[in-house]
Amino acid sequence: MDQSGAVYLNVGGNFYTTTREVLKCDQESVIGKMFSQNPSKWTIDRNGNVFIDRDGSLFRYILNFLRVGALIVPTNFPELDMLLEEARFYEMKKLEEEIMQLREYFSNSISLILIMPQVVQLNVGGSLYTTSRSVLTKDAGSKLYHMLSGNMPNMVDTNGNVFIDRDGKLFRYILNFLRDNKLVVPLKFAEFDLLLAEAEYYQLKQLKEAILEKMISNVDIMEFVMIQCDTRTGAYEVKATKTTVFALYKKFGKDLHWHPRVETLSDVISFKDLDHDFISHL
């Protein structure tokens, strides 16, 4: 200590300068008692600094607490347990209480972050997506809700992304539906069958209904093949995918006289003996 009242400290190899009054402010602590006694009893290093054989890095927070009377540490400070041991060594009861309160707060916050992250990164069949947890859990009856609510275990890839082994490209439409509650697909979208299967897998009932409605409204631009089977009667055969057939049937209802036949290899359904009124609609 010099004539100005400054005290030079060497705490575990870290050097600090403060005043004796700051160090004495907590009279019940080890530090307060130490600097209330005669300086002849202090341990001095070879350079004249008062030596304390404790963690020097953490002493920064101890000293700041003595200066301002409050615990100030970075957000999610990772060394609270170590700082708590220092507070106990120095017998600083008030500091110990504040550390305990902060540790409980951080513990709860970290648990929430680990269990329910607000931003979720997904790897769906190799396609990467980033969205919010609130979007993915919007439908409480869906598989996505159960996956992101901790009700079922999740797989993660090597980068820590939640992994879902499904069609990654089609997930784009599923995610946009969850965001906007509206199904938007490109003109002449040809993968309604696949998208419907994805909606069923994820147990998204509203999306499934939206797909079926979209199929009906888009029937005029769906691709199918008409073949005139009987030149005498003018009967036609329509070949289309299952979803197109469904849309045709839903839109034209009783006007559609049909005998479905599934061809295994091409997975198409044939409508035979269609009357002229129905063909005119096409």
Residue 262 to residues 196, 222, 242, 269, Cα–Cα distance (Å): 18, 19, 9, 5
Tens of pLDDT, residues 221-268: 455 545 555 556 555 555 555 555 556 556 555 444 444 443 333 334
User: What number is the average pLDDT over the span 130-134?
Assistant: 90
> Rounded to whole angstroms, how far apart are CA atoms 81 and 78?
8
Residue 14 to residues 8, 50, 116, 138, Cα–Cα distance (Å): 11, 11, 40, 53
Residues β-bridged to residue 268: 263
- C-beta separation of 196 from 185 below 8 A: no
Q: What residue spans define the domains of the chain?
A: 6-114, 119-215, 220-281
Please choose, from the candidates 73, 67, 52, 65, the residue with its C-alpha nearest in 3D space to the C-alpha of residue 94. 65
DSSP 3-state of 271: strand
**Which pLDDT does position 271 carry in this prediction?**
43
User: What number is the average pLDDT over the span 96-118?
Assistant: 68
**Which pLDDT does position 248 carry in this prediction?**
59
Which CATH number applies to 119-215: 3.30.710.10, 1.20.1070.10, 3.40.50.150, 3.40.50.300?
Answer: 3.30.710.10
Fold match between 6-114 and 119-215? yes
DSSP 3-state of 162: strand
Which residue matches tokens 């784009």?
A: 172
1-10, 42-51, 64-73, 221-230: which has the highest mean pLDDT?
Answer: 42-51
pLDDT at residue 150 greater than cutoff 80: no
pLDDT at residue 145 greater than cutoff 50: yes
- C-beta separation of 159 from 165 below 8 A: no
Burial 203-230 (b: 16+ CB within 10 A, else e): ebebbbebbbebbeebbeebebeeeeee
> Rounded to whole angstroms, how far apart are CA atoms 184 and 91?
65
Please give the CATH number for the structural domain made up of 6-114. 3.30.710.10
Q: Among residues of the chain, what percentage have pLDDT more than 90? A: 46
Please choose, from the candidates 130, 244, 117, 149, the residue with its C-alpha nearest in 3D space to the C-alpha of residue 258. 244
**Which pLDDT does position 275 carry in this prediction?**
43
pLDDT at residue 115 greater than cutoff 50: no
Tens of pLDDT, residues 162-209: 899 999 999 999 999 999 999 999 887 888 889 999 999 999 999 999
**Which pLDDT does position 259 carry in this prediction?**
44
Structure tokens at 222: 């769906």
